[in-house]
Amino acid sequence: MNATSTTPLLIDKDQVKDLRFPSVEILTCPEQIARRTSELSRALTLGNVHHNKVKIIFSDLENIKMIETTIWAVTELRIILKSGMVIPINRIMEIIS
């Protein structure tokens, strides 16, 4: 994980629905944002075509968290997980496939 040295808290994907997210972009440079966009595209393909899970490291109002799941859809502002749960893209730090 490049953006921080803090170990993310592993949570169950069902807990995402209870989290609150600030509107501020978590990444600081255009290269990191471009890499995240590329990782999201790859993760979407892995989830929809190959049914592979990815690790998503993100930050909510409290701290840095990680879930392991498949990404069902990517919109301009959010990723959509199973059961309609969403994570704002601007809060995602890294996707590990």
- Domains in the chain, start-ordered, CATH in brackets? 9-96 (2.30.30)
Average pLDDT over residues 70-83: 93
Q: How many CB atoms lie within 10 A of CB 9?
A: 12
The model carries a pTM of 0.90
CA distance 88 to 79: 6
Phi, psi of 88 (to 5 degrees): -65, 135
pLDDT at 47 over 60: yes
User: Token digits for 47?
Assistant: 């989830």
Rounding to the nearest 10 degrees, give the CA dihedral for residues 20, 87, 13, 11. Answer: -60
More confident residue, 3 or 23: 23
Average pLDDT, rounded, for the chain: 92
